């Protein structure tokens, strides 16, 4: 590796640095560094403001389920129940969205008529353009009432699975509804990442498979999916990161609660992000600081998931 | 298996080659037939529902196609047809929520969407009164998003310039990586960051529109960097080299050649970034408040309502009129976002760089 003193890449002929060049390069470099500082600042300010409540907390923050933080002294709160709800909702979303997203990506890249492919891809991207608060409104105003009968069917026929044990919530506002909405919201991300890698599959691989007499599906199974694995996994993890941090849809669909329940058809679960949004307006005493501590946990989880996702994608591209 | 590779089993190959295939019109004809039969049966039992109809049609189509194809074309072709049907189904499945969201929002939003709704605020309107509108929320959205854009565009574009034109080595890799990571920051964490920052700078209870704008800028900067970087990389190398050959300094080359060439792409990217953050709700609930009812143009004083927060606040109130207002505001918000998307496309198409 050479020196990182970048502007030397194209030195002016006289060898003398022009003042404009120095200023402009300095501006560009400092805004790059500013971004790093902002990210560090996010972590630092969250830690500093979370500290008072964390040090005053009378119970273990990571294993406690209740949230008794809106007091002036001796708060007792923890994120255990919320972290459970967060991971549960994101997992439901991921399980529902990933297969569909792979199907959409395959459709757009290999099945759709060439002329229409770009337009159809744009339609899928439109799903990402709808604001999350509108998804939340759609979730409670339209989807939840529609899903009630589906939930009744699930509990009647699949009730022996603990996940679907009844009785289903009459309002339909459960973690499963939230998971369905989240799945719709992360669909475009996973699709976009999968599409990108499917486009990169070497034409030689595909044509070799077809020349051997493979059907279209055999070509995909033999040439496309092995090549695109890292992109699909990375895309799914990015989608997971988005689902973990998604706030509004969850806060609007789920009511404030602190239960840990495997029953997807009943209300009771809540996520970190939803809890913060619902509790913040009423927070007093140690309340705000405790919510910032919860946000710090969310930040840490999403940071790890996103960094892992980027790592997987980058490694996959390098290997290919 | 290795022994058979040189001599494939003769009879099977012949059978494969002489197998018949389903006619080209088989798929569309079967789809139309199963759709109409299922519709007829459902109507006969008077239990017609769009979802049930689509589901049963898909099942009927799948079952008949696979059985027919296994009989006539063989197992491999049947698998291929099965997967093709599933892949098409996945796409249609994804379109269902898009159509459903747009349809329900339009249908429910039209009840209250009017010139009156757009031009009055909620000042002096009780939550359950049959009055009030979103003017104050539109004002807040414009002011907050405008300031967020003013903050994030210079930082974002300059960083992209740095990454494309200057940076090398470890710093470049670090910035690229952390910009990627930053795109994944949950919006509510960006809101909490500004809450924490403001508590340290000004003490509790001093939140205003400016703090909301900073939270949105944190979310917007990585998007601007990403799209601008892509656009700057599209500028042909020859243009830069021609400029250097004339003795133009590097910074003049960037400001006079590179940036103007990519201006259309940069604008498109910025518009899309605005469209992304204009619907953000969570950070605004934490920073700009969710109870403002009157028109406030001042970013530095007091609570500010915005369209997404208005929707959320009305839903929290829970009455019938509140839901009507929420749907109408959602329609307004979607129209704004679609307008931004449309403008971005138009700018990208009309002012695309002419490289030849």
> Degrees (nearest 5) of the Cα angle A167, A173, A176?
75
Structure tokens at B323: 């839901």
Within-domain flag for B116: no
Do B37 and B166 belong to one domain? no
Do B318 and B186 belong to one domain? yes
Residue B47 CA to residue B50 CA, distance in Å, equals: 10
- The three-state DSSP-derived secondary structure of chain A is CCCCCHHHHCCCCCCCCCHHHHHHHHHHHHHHHHHHHHHHHHHHHHHHHHHHHHHHCCCCCCCCCCEECCCCCCCEECCHHHHHHHHHHHHHHHHHHHHHHHHHHHHHHHHCCHHHHHHHHHHHHHHHHCCHHHHHHHHHHHHHHHHHHHHHHHHHHHCCCHHHCCCCCCCCCCHHHHHHHHHHHHHHHHHHHHHHHHHHCCHHHHHHHHHCCCCHHHHHHHHHHHHHHHHHHHHHHHHHHHHHHCCHHHHHHCCCCCCCCCCCCCCCCCCHHHHHHHHHHHCCCCHHHHHHHHHHHHHHHHHHHHHHHHHHHHHHHHHC
Residue B337 CA to residue A132 CA, distance in Å, equals: 12
Q: How far is B355 from chain A (nearest CA, A)?
A: 23
ipTM: 0.87
Higher pLDDT, A45 or A265: A45
Range of the domain at B72: 2-109
Within-domain flag for B121: no
Residues of B in contact with A42 (CB under 8 A): 185, 189-190, 193, 218
Segments of chain B scoring below 50 in pLDDT: 1-11, 356
Task: State residue B124's pLDDT score.
Answer: 81
Out of A87-91, A170-174, B14-18, B231-235, least confident range: B14-18
Structure tokens at B150: 């003013």
Within-domain flag for B313: yes
The dihedral sign for the CA sequence A176, A182, A188, A192: negative
Residue of A nearest to B83 (CA): A217
Token pair 């028109």 in the structure block, residue: B295
Token pair 């022994």 in the structure block, residue: B3
Task: State residue A14's pLDDT score.
Answer: 52
Do B58 and B150 belong to one domain? no
Within-domain flag for B219: yes
Do B289 and B234 belong to one domain? yes
Task: State residue B5's pLDDT score.
Answer: 47
Do B61 and B98 belong to one domain? yes
Do B15 and B142 belong to one domain? no
Structure tokens at B105: 């929002």
Residues in chain B: 356
Structure tokens at A221: 């199974």
Residues of B in contact with A130 (CB under 8 A): 98, 101, 279, 334, 337
Q: What CATH code is carried by the domain that includes residue B330?
A: 1.10.3720.10
Residues of B in contact with A210 (CB under 8 A): none
Confidence of residue A318 (pLDDT cuts 50, 70, 90): low
CB atoms within 10 A of CB B300: 9
Within-domain flag for B355: no
Return all residues near A157 (Cβ < 8 A) that are at least 6 apart.
none
The residues facing A68 across adjacent strands are A76
Residues of A in contact with B328 (CB under 8 A): none
Task: State residue A16's pLDDT score.
Answer: 59
Was domain A76-319 assigned CATH 3.20.20.70?
Answer: no
Structure tokens at B58: 């898909």
Within-domain flag for B20: yes
Do B163 and B297 belong to one domain? yes
Give the whole-number percent of chain A exceeding pLDDT 70. 93
The reply to whether residue A103 touches residue B275, judged by beta carbons under 8 angstroms, is no
To the nearest whole number, what is the mean pLDDT of chain A?
A: 88
The reply to whether residue B184 touches residue A302, judged by beta carbons under 8 angstroms, is yes
Do B90 and B160 belong to one domain? no
Residue of A nearest to B105 (CA): A138
Best A28, A218, A317 residue to mutate vs chain B (most B CBs within 10 Å): A28
Best B92, B94, B318 residue to mutate vs chain A (most A CBs within 10 Å): B94
Task: State residue B19's pLDDT score.
Answer: 67
Do B97 and B142 belong to one domain? no
Q: Cβ-count burial of B173 within 10 angstroms (0-12 exposed, 13-18 middle, 19+ buried)?
A: exposed
Task: State residue A237's pLDDT score.
Answer: 92
Within-domain flag for B124: no
Residue A248 CA to residue B207 CA, distance in Å, equals: 20
Do B100 and B157 belong to one domain? no
Residues of chain A with CATH 1.10.3720.10: 76-319
The reply to whether residue A99 touches residue B90, judged by beta carbons under 8 angstroms, is yes
Residue B242 CA to residue B235 CA, distance in Å, equals: 13
Could you say which DSSP state residue B128 is in?
T
Do B101 and B25 belong to one domain? yes
Residues of A in contact with B106 (CB under 8 A): none
Q: How far is A111 from chain B (nearest CA, A)?
A: 8
pLDDT in tens, A179-200: 999 999 999 999 999 998 899 8
pLDDT in tens, A25-73: 999 999 999 999 999 999 999 999 999 999 998 888 888 888 888 888 8
The reply to whether residue A10 touches residue B250, judged by beta carbons under 8 angstroms, is yes
Do B67 and B205 belong to one domain? no
CB atoms within 10 A of CB B9: 9
Structural domains counted in chain B: 2
Residue A4 CA to residue B174 CA, distance in Å, equals: 12
Could you say which DSSP state residue A77 is in?
E
Question: Nearest Cα to A171, choosing from B3, B318, B340?
Answer: B318
Within-domain flag for B127: no
Token pair 């300059």 in the structure block, residue: B158
Average pLDDT on A275-280 reads 91
Give the whole-number percent of chain A exceeding pLDDT 90. 52
């Amino acid at each position: 590796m050479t020196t990182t003193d970048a502007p030397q890449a194209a030195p002016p002929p006289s060898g003398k640095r022009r003042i404009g060049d120095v200023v402009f390069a300095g501006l560009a470099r400092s805004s790059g560094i500013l971004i790093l500082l902002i990210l560090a600042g996010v972590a630092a300010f969250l830690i500093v403001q979370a500290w008072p409540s964390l040090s005053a907390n009378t119970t273990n923050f990571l294993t406690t389920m209740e949230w008794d933080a809106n007091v002036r002294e001796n708060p007792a709160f923890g994120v255990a129940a919320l972290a459970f709800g967060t991971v549960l909702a994101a997992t439901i979303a991921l399980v529902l969205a990933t297969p569909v997203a792979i199907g959409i990506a395959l459709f757009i890249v290999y099945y759709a008529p060439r002329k229409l492919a770009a337009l159809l891809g744009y339609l899928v991207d439109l799903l990402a353009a709808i604001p999350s608060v509108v998804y939340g409104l759609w979730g409670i105003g339209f989807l939840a009432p529609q899903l009630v009968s589906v939930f009744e069917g699930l509990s009647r026929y699949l009730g022996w699975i603990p996940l679907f044990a009844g009785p289903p919530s009459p309002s339909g506002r459960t973690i499963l509804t939230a998971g369905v909405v989240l799945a719709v919201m992360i669909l475009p991300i996973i699709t976009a990442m999968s599409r990108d890698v499917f486009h990169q599959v070497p034409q030689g691989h595909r044509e070799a498979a077809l020349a051997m007499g493979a059907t279209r599906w055999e070509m995909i199974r033999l040439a496309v999916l092995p090549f695109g694995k890292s992109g699909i996994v990375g895309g799914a993890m990015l989608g997971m990161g988005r689902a973990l941090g998604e706030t509004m849809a969850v806060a609007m669909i789920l009511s404030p609660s602190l239960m840990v329940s495997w029953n997807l058809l009943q209300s009771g679960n809540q996520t970190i992000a939803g809890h913060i949004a619902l509790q913040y307006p009423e927070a007093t005493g140690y309340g705000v600081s405790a919510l910032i501590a919860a946000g710090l946990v969310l930040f840490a989880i999403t940071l790890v998931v996103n960094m892992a996702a980027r790592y997987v994608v980058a490694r996959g591209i390098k290997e290919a | 298996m290795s022994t058979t590779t040189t001599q494939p089993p003769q009879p099977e190959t012949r059978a494969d080659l002489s197998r018949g295939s389903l006619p080209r019109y088989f798929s569309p004809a079967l789809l139309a037939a199963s759709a109409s039969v299922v519709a007829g049966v459902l109507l006969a039992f008077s239990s017609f529902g769009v979802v049930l109809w689509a589901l049963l049609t898909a099942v009927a189509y799948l079952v008949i196609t696979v059985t027919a194809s296994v009989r006539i074309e063989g197992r491999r072709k049947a698998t291929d047809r099965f997967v093709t049907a599933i892949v098409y189904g996945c796409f249609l499945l994804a379109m269902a929520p898009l159509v459903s969201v747009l349809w329900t929002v339009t249908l429910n939003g039209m009840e209250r969407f009017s010139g009156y709704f757009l031009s009055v605020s909620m000042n002096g309107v009780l939550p359950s009164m049959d009055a009030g509108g979103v003017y104050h929320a539109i004002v807040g959205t414009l002011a907050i998003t405008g300031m967020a854009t003013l903050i994030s565009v210079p930082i974002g574009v300059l960083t992209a310039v740095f990454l494309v034109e200057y940076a090398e080595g470890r710093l470049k890799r670090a910035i690229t990586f952390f910009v990627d990571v930053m795109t994944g920051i949950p919006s509510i964490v960006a809101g909490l960051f500004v809450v924490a920052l403001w508590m340290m700078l000004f003490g509790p209870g001093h939140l205003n529109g400016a703090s909301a704008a900073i939270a949105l800028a944190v979310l917007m900067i990585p998007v601007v960097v990403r799209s601008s970087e892509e656009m700057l990389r599209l500028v042909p190398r020859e243009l830069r080299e021609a400029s250097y050959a004339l003795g133009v300094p590097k910074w003049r080359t960037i400001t006079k050649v590179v940036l103007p060439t990519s201006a259309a792409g940069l604008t498109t990217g910025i518009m899309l970034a605005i469209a992304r953050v204009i619907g953000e709700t969570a950070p605004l609930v934490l920073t700009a408040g969710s109870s403002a009812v009157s028109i406030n143009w001042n970013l530095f004083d007091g609570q500010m309502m915005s369209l997404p927060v208005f929707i959320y606040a009305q839903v929290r109130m829970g009455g019938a009129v509140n839901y009507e207002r929420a749907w109408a505001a959602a329609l307004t918000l979607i129209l704004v976002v679609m307008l931004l998307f449309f403008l971005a496309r138009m700018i990208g198409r009309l002012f695309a760089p002419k490289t030849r």
